[in-house]
A and B are shown apart, each in its own frame.
Chain A
Amino acid sequence: MMQFMLLFSRQGKLRLQKWYVAHPDKLKKKITRELITTVLARKPKMCSFLEWKDVKVVYKRYASLYFCCAMEQEDNELLTLELIHRYVELLDKYLGSVCELDIIFNFEKAYFILDELVLGGELQETSKKNVLKAIAAQDLLQEEETPQGFFEDHGLG
């Protein structure tokens, strides 16, 4: 089971955080800070796995963004890499050749996609098509109920 997932930039800025275990805010911040420092200190040639405290961290860099998952010892590390890749593919499909800026400006969308892919720390859907279909249907629901203002100043904007 995935304990948490972090997305952060090469500069160490957090771009997305998803926690599947209950921790106090303070501890989450501490873990995030320490893990980001540790992962950024690793050289590009090194393997994608890191035994860190009692979790197994699986991370992969896509352009300027690090995708980082904390898994339990029993989990298949290579499969976690596939899961990260699947998430990147989905973001790419949804946002159109995704880059770090897209994720910054559409962070809530990034969360929505993740929530259709993973639930409670476990994978819930193995078909890309189904994930995107669910997201599109929900976006449509949102659009239908949002009155179109003069300058499209409704919704989240």
Chain B
Amino acid sequence: MAYPMYEVDWSVLPPEQNRRFNPAFNIATIKQVVNEAIERVAPVSVRMPTPTRLRDLIRQIRAARTAAEERSVVNKECAYIRSTFREEDSVWRCRNIAKLLYIHMLGYPAHFGQLECLKLIASPRFTDKRVGYLGAMLLLDERQDVHLLITNCLKNDLNSNTQFVVGLALCTLGAIASPEMARDLASEVERLIKSPNAYIKKKAALCAFRIIRRVPDLMEMFLPATRSLLTEKNHGVLITGVTLITEMCENSPDTLNHFKKIVPNLVRILKNLILAGYSPEHDVSGVSDPFLQVKILRLLRILGKNDAEASEAMNDILAQVATNTETSKNVGNTILYETVLSIMDIKSESSLRVLAVNILGRFLLNNDKNIRYVALNTLLRTVHVDTSAVQRHRTTILECLKDPDISIRRRAMELSFALVNGQNIRGMMKELLAFLERSDAEFKAHCSSAVVLAAERYAPSDKWHLDTLFKVLLKAGNYLRDDTVSSTIQIISSAATERQAYGAMRLWTSLEQSAVSGLATEKQPLIQVAAWTIGEYGDLLVSEASSAISMVDEDGVDDFVRPTEEYVIDIYQKLLWSTQLSISTKEFLLLSLAKLSTRFTTQASQEKIRVIIDTFGSHIHIELQQRGVELSQLFRQYGHLRPALLERMPAMEPVAAPHRDEQELDLSDTSPDHTKPDQDALLDLINGSDSLTNGDVEHQPEQIATTNNNTSSNDILDLLSGLDLTPSVPAAAPAVLLANNNVEPSAAPAALLLDGLFAPPATPQPPHPADGAEWERAVLERGGVRVCVSARRAAGAAATLTARATSQLHTLTDFLFQAAVPKKIQLDMMSPSGTTLSPQGEITQVLKVTNPTKTPLRLRIRVSYNIDGTPVLEQTEINNFPADLFN
């Protein structure tokens, strides 16, 4: 029946009130009028007109030609439906909700129908209940208030005399049970499991399954009723019973043991299924109830795992299933798949395992993609049980790496990595590297990490290991994980000199190719490793003495051309001036370039390096600018320091964790003494400082600034390795260094650096007071907590304040130090050494105060912390700083 059209233009009333009146004279209108006349005299008083029928609304919406048109139809109907909700006791409520559910599926909001669904559920009519529960399942979220209402409705209906009403309630409970609902209704469900009616029994069993999923504690109460489910004939009850028992067994080991005794029952049911003749009711292409078979096989697997006795009991039936199942159809393979999983998981006989692996071998060669996928999946799950059996299929698996289907490729990749071992590493890696190169972006990170790991584990030789890492760098591009850069650098640094030269030469070729072809931006990790290596071993790269090293690659080609020093610098220049490379890559390159100035010998290359470095003195990025300025100083006043400063790094310790540097620094931050044996270069350097010259002291701000860097690169540490610190450097200095290391690069240290570097040479005052005059006061002392502030003159009109907090009795948590100074004075706070203060420990907080106007310094400090969970806040002001602090 066509929808009775009515013309908007003809009416002065809004559409929903104007349905009765329709000037168009057609059969639809007549029907409408007649219907309404009937309704008016009908015993049920209906004030609203007959609403649009569900199918008519669907038709109307489908007739909409544009999205806007559809929206207008929907909005109109929604407005109408809303208005009907105000009516009590509407006979059309179920129709309106049904329409709303359709509208909801189209993606329009329909939450306003939630309460109406509850009204429908509470109605005595079955139609209302059916639509109401459907609406509840679709529209209800986990909102508390509505859930409480529906719990009451469910409780009523679970006690209904009509099996279908009970069925609806169980179905809804199974779909939307919240933990609260599960608790409230568990006993009702338990009662229904024991119902003699199979229709209710099976639904109640699955409801129990869901309840246990949501609230595992409720399992106990269902245990007694569950076992009898397996004695039923009805397949619905059997399959739901098996599902419930499976969930219980996975839930607790005790229950698993409790159910071991049902193995014979399960075996019998399975045997009956296989041996029973054709039964049309449960047959699926010649297989009797595959759904039930699979569920039983899965439960057997769980029961037989690590249990020789149970496994023994199911060996025969598994063999029977594995040999008798027909494999030409999907359904047969479904059962075989589950059987193979069970055979591999339980303690089965070896002949059975051979059978299972053979089935998988057949699966792998199957034309059906789905079966191949399943085979790969199963092999991956069984590879730990029987690697050699899976190894036999290696060629086929590697072939699957080339499959156009991403699902199959992913499985094949994971399986391939599981198969790599010391014997096949060369061949496997060749395939996997080829895969890495052509693989999708989403695989690259995972695949490259796996290659790096496998190479580390099974590398047949150092050279092969390096070659593989270089290939990964080349092929994974920017998808490579950050820690691979540092671990590769570490491996090169601890290799033999010959290998280091080889690495520099190989990486040079890649670097040059990337730079010339303009692909450097896509391969930044490669550029970083290459820059580091060439910076360290640049002398070996250009030296003729390295000609003895064979550069023949796997294909027997030696395409290495020894570059001239000038050419290397040209390539560096090209990369450094590129706008596309990341700052961190440029930092690598810039330091590497500075290092090359002490590795290369010709005057022309020296001159070029100097020019490039000078240009960075005005770089827009503060970090690079800072490096540019620092390094260019090494070509001028402090040129005599350069060779020592840029010396080759000592071999690095193997990397334990990806972010070793930061972790160790953090550790050392919290410990008062820095003499740990396992520190890395930076800390050794600070501790092992003995000799000094006056020149070194002047460089201290520079060192501070240089370490102010968040990259995990080790080369910056190297920069310092030639330097020793003065023992008369105040105790605060290590803290400054350490603190700075954790700070984001910011303008503050840079300003400090410039203060140091550009201080007029004529200034008689050295950057650090050589007399070591330090002012120190205890500013806060309460309840065993003591805060001291020490002040020290710094270069320019600046001072370094160090606050030290100690606690004698308690451990303080969330320790926070805040400070404020008058407006004319500038204050920079470094990171504190920690936020937790233990009785023997100390928290230091360094503050940089710049006071260009030299006004008297006043400092207000606030300290907050927690003692045993009680927050404490203390505040004080210090205004007795020495008058000459800024002179």
Q: Which residue of B lies closest to A57 (CB)?
A: B407
CA of A124 to CA of B371, assembled, Å: 26
Contacts of B202 in A (CB 8 A): 124-125
Contacts of B406 in A (CB 8 A): 46
Interface: B176 (CB within 8 A): yes
Interface: B479 (CB within 8 A): no
Interface: B859 (CB within 8 A): no
Contacts of A46 in B (CB 8 A): 369, 404-407
Contact partner of A25 among B62, B94, B141, CB < 8 A?
Answer: B141
Binary flags per residue of B365-388, CB closer than 8 Å to A gives 1, else 0: 000011111100100000000000
Restricting to B313-343, which residues have a CB under 8 Å from any CB of A? 330-331, 333-334, 337-338
Restricting to A55-82, which residues have a CB under 8 Å from any CB of B? 76-79, 81-82
Best-buried of A15, A120, A150 by chain B (most CB within 10 Å): A120
CB <8 Å contact, A78 and B107: no
Whole-angstrom distance between the Cβ of A27 and the nearest chain B Cβ: 10
Contact partner of A47 among B1, B53, B142, B407, CB < 8 A?
Answer: B407
Contact partner of A17 among B105, B210, B236, B371, CB < 8 A?
Answer: B105
Whole-angstrom distance between the Cβ of B838 and the nearest chain A Cβ: 41
CB <8 Å contact, A142 and B207: no
Restricting to A109-157, which residues have a CB under 8 Å from any CB of B? 111-112, 115, 119-130, 134, 137-138, 141-142, 145-146, 149-151, 153, 155-157
Contacts of B331 in A (CB 8 A): 78, 82
Contact partner of A81 among B107, B330, B372, CB < 8 A?
Answer: B330
Supposing A15-B105, A124-B239, A155-B127 touch, asked if A77 and B141 sit within 8 A by C-beta, the answer is no
Contacts of A104 in B (CB 8 A): 58, 62
CB <8 Å contact, B209 and A107: no
Contacts of B134 in A (CB 8 A): 108, 111-112, 115
Q: Which residue of A lies closest to B204 (CB)?
A: A119
CA of A14 to CA of B34, assembled, Å: 37
CB <8 Å contact, A79 and B199: no
Interface: B468 (CB within 8 A): no
Chain B interface mostly: helix
**Interface residues contributed by chain A, number (CB under 8 Å):** 61
Interface: A88 (CB within 8 A): no
Binary flags per residue of B126-143, CB closer than 8 Å to A gives 1, else 0: 110011001001100110
Interface: B669 (CB within 8 A): no
Chain A interface mostly: mixed
Contact partner of A155 among B95, B107, B282, B370, CB < 8 A?
Answer: B95
Number of A-B contacts (CB under 8 A): 192
CB <8 Å contact, B291 and A126: yes
Q: Which residue of B lies closest to A78 (CB)?
A: B334
Contact partner of A112 among B107, B130, B141, B235, CB < 8 A?
Answer: B130
Interface: A53 (CB within 8 A): no
CB <8 Å contact, A20 and B126: no
Contacts of A126 in B (CB 8 A): 235-236, 239, 282, 289, 291-292
Contacts of B377 in A (CB 8 A): 77
Q: Which residue of A lies closest to B174 (CB)?
A: A120
Whole-angstrom distance between the Cβ of A153 and the nearest chain B Cβ: 6
CB <8 Å contact, B95 and A78: no
Supposing A47-B405, A141-B126, A155-B95 touch, asked if A78 and B330 sit within 8 A by C-beta, the answer is yes
Supposing A112-B130, A125-B202, A150-B34 touch, asked if A157 and B105 sit within 8 A by C-beta, the answer is no
Supposing A104-B58, A126-B235, A157-B55 touch, asked if A79 and B290 sit within 8 A by C-beta, the answer is yes
Q: Which residue of A lies closest to B337 (CB)?
A: A78
CB <8 Å contact, B31 and A151: yes
Q: Which residue of A lies closest to B203 (CB)?
A: A119
Binary flags per residue of A73-102, CB closer than 8 Å to B gives 1, else 0: 000111101110010000000000000000
Contacts of B138 in A (CB 8 A): 17
Q: Which residue of B lies closest to A33 (CB)?
A: B107
Whole-angstrom distance between the Cβ of B632 and the nearest chain A Cβ: 52
Q: Which residue of A lies closest to B208 (CB)?
A: A120
Whole-angstrom distance between the Cβ of A80 and the nearest chain B Cβ: 9
Whole-angstrom distance between the Cβ of A6 and the nearest chain B Cβ: 10
Interface: B619 (CB within 8 A): no
Contact partner of A22 among B111, B178, B207, CB < 8 A?
Answer: B178
Contacts of A82 in B (CB 8 A): 284, 290-291, 330-331, 334
Interface: B98 (CB within 8 A): yes
Contacts of B294 in A (CB 8 A): 76, 79
Contacts of B462 in A (CB 8 A): none
Interface: B50 (CB within 8 A): yes
Binds A, one of B164-172, B348-356, B752-760: B164-172
Contacts of B605 in A (CB 8 A): none
Restricting to B160-201, which residues have a CB under 8 Å from any CB of A? 162, 164, 167, 170-171, 174-178, 199
Contacts of A86 in B (CB 8 A): 284
8 interchain pairs, CB-CB under 8 A: A14-B107, A15-B105, A46-B406, A78-B333, A83-B291, A122-B209, A122-B243, A141-B126
The 7 A-B residue pairs whose C-beta atoms are closest, nearest first, are A157-B53, A120-B174, A47-B369, A78-B334, A120-B210, A46-B405, A119-B206
Known contacts A15-B105, A82-B330, A108-B134; 15 additional CB pairs below 8 A are A25-B141, A43-B405, A45-B405, A82-B290, A104-B58, A105-B55, A107-B102, A115-B134, A119-B203, A123-B291, A124-B202, A126-B235, A127-B236, A146-B127, A156-B127
